[in-house]
Amino acid sequence: MISYTLKCEAGHSFDSWFQSAAAFDKLADARQITCAECGSRKVAKAVMAPRIAKGDAGAADAPTGVLSHPSSEVHQALAELRRKVEENSDYVGDRFAREARAMHLGEKPARSIYGEARLDQARSLLEDGVPLVPLPFRPKRNLS
């Protein structure tokens, strides 16, 4: 994982994590990265020193993003959304698609969950009528 400080055409700066530098380039070329404040798709890397995540062992040393110290109203709203999701939902990690489908089919009791799903998994859930909403942040914690 790599974190970049990004800047949109309106001058808003924000941090975002990417699987790799190549993943950032691919998303940026496809204009799939949007400004966290204004939604602009004209986003580029700001001048910065890239920060690389050290994995679980270095998690305590990992850099913090804009949601750790919200400065604007948008950042504060995102931080509040994160807090509400984490307080009122169960984190299921990469089991999100399986859990959501099982609840939709009545195989498991319904409850509020959040986690990660690949794009193809999310698309399949939506096509099958399973309600889901992408979150504008990455989970802070991992399953053990």
CA distance linking residue 125 with residue 144, whole number of Å: 25
24 close to 18: Cβ distance less than 8 angstroms: yes
Helix or strand holding residue 120 (H, E): helix 119-127
Residue 94 to residues 33, 43, 56, 118, 127, Cα–Cα distance (Å)? 22, 28, 16, 9, 19
CA distance linking residue 24 with residue 44, whole number of Å: 10
Q: Which two tokens stand for residue 48?
A: 């910065």
pTM of the model: 0.50
Q: Which two tokens stand for residue 89?
A: 């939902």
> What's the pLDDT tens digit per position in 51-105?
555 554 444 444 445 555 556 777 788 888 888 999 999 999 999 999 999 999 9
135 close to 89: Cβ distance less than 8 angstroms: no
pLDDT at residue number 39:
83
pLDDT at residue number 49:
53
Domain range list for the chain:
1-53, 72-134
CA distance linking residue 108 with residue 101, whole number of Å: 9
pLDDT at residue number 143:
45
Nearest to 100 by CA among 121, 85, 86, 80: 121
